[in-house]
Amino acid sequence: MSKKLQLDLDSVLAEAWRLVQLGATDRNSAFHLPTVATVTRDGMPNLRTVVLRGADPDRRSLRFHTDRRSAKFEELGQISQYALHVYDPAIQTQIRLSGTGEIHHDDIEAKSAWDGSAAMSRLCYAAPDGPGAVVPAPPAAPRLEDVAEGAGYENFCAVILHVDRLEWLHLAASGHQRARFVWDASGNRSGEWLAP
Ligand SMILES: Cc1cc2nc3c(=O)[nH]c(=O)nc-3n(C[C@H](O)[C@H](O)[C@H](O)COP(=O)(O)O)c2cc1C
């Protein structure tokens, strides 16, 4: 990104969405593996890596997949405000996204996400022990040949985040650049520079 572009809020936002969108398709992008934050039942912060499966800048939506047996499923259901974070050291850029989330299980969105997933990705949802279950020893990975077609779908969820806040921080020797974009309920956007 040129210095000129970095000084233009519209260009910063377009670049932020380009990076996020790339993360949904390019497994080598740092944005492929965002950190998702939730709040536990006890009010404690909780973080974990997920694979970014979809990003739609026009709708300002992101999608990742998870297992309804996991702790995050309960946490995501409890408080519908989610936050994601990525830092890409290659371009010294951090993006923080937050907004309202929704969990899709056994509905059109979930089915479409399931159908669009690779067989290997679906496999973990067919594991007999859900994420976080106490086991006597690390279990062997489920094998494609051992599971029936469609197995695991009952545990599969597509999680959609509708972004209403995006924060950009780009580190540069010439001066760090931080910008915040907020969308109101009508979709009107405000954007401003912040001190880094
Ligand atoms: C590289 C990487 C990718 C991951 N992708 C996902 C994912 O897409 N969905 C998911 O639920 N967990 C994913 N995990 C596992 C989570 O980080 C986490 O360990 C697990 O989901 C249990 O989290 P929870 O107990 O907070 O629910 C991934 C972990 C790593 C290291």
What are the pLDDT digits (tens) for 47-90?
A: 999 999 999 999 999 999 999 999 999 999 999 999 999 999 99
Domain that holds residue 173: 3-194
Per-residue model confidence (pLDDT) at position 149: 86
Reported as a pLDDT band with limits 50, 70 and 90, residue 147 is confident
Task: Point out the least confidently predicted range of 4-8, 55-59, 129-133, 179-183.
Answer: 4-8
Q: How many domains does the chain have?
A: 1
Residue nearest to atom 5 of ligand 1 (CA): 50
Per-residue model confidence (pLDDT) at position 1: 52
Q: Which residues line ligand 1 (CB under 6 A)?
A: 33, 46, 48-51, 64-67, 70-72, 131-132
Reported as a pLDDT band with limits 50, 70 and 90, residue 4 is very low
Q: What is the CATH number of the domain that holds 64?
A: 2.30.110.10
Residue nearest to atom 14 of ligand 1 (CA): 50
Expressed in angstroms and rounded, the spacing between residue 167 Cα and the centre of ligand 1 is: 23
- Per-residue exposure over 102-138, b if at least 16 CB sit within 10 Å of its own CB, e if not: ebbbeeebbeebbeebeeeebbbbbbeeebeeeeeee
Structure tokens at 190: 């405000």
Expressed in angstroms and rounded, the spacing between residue 71 Cα and the centre of ligand 1 is: 10
Expressed in angstroms and rounded, the spacing between residue 82 Cα and the centre of ligand 1 is: 15
Residue nearest to atom 26 of ligand 1 (CA): 72
Which residue in 160, 119, 174 sits closest to 142, CA to CA? 119
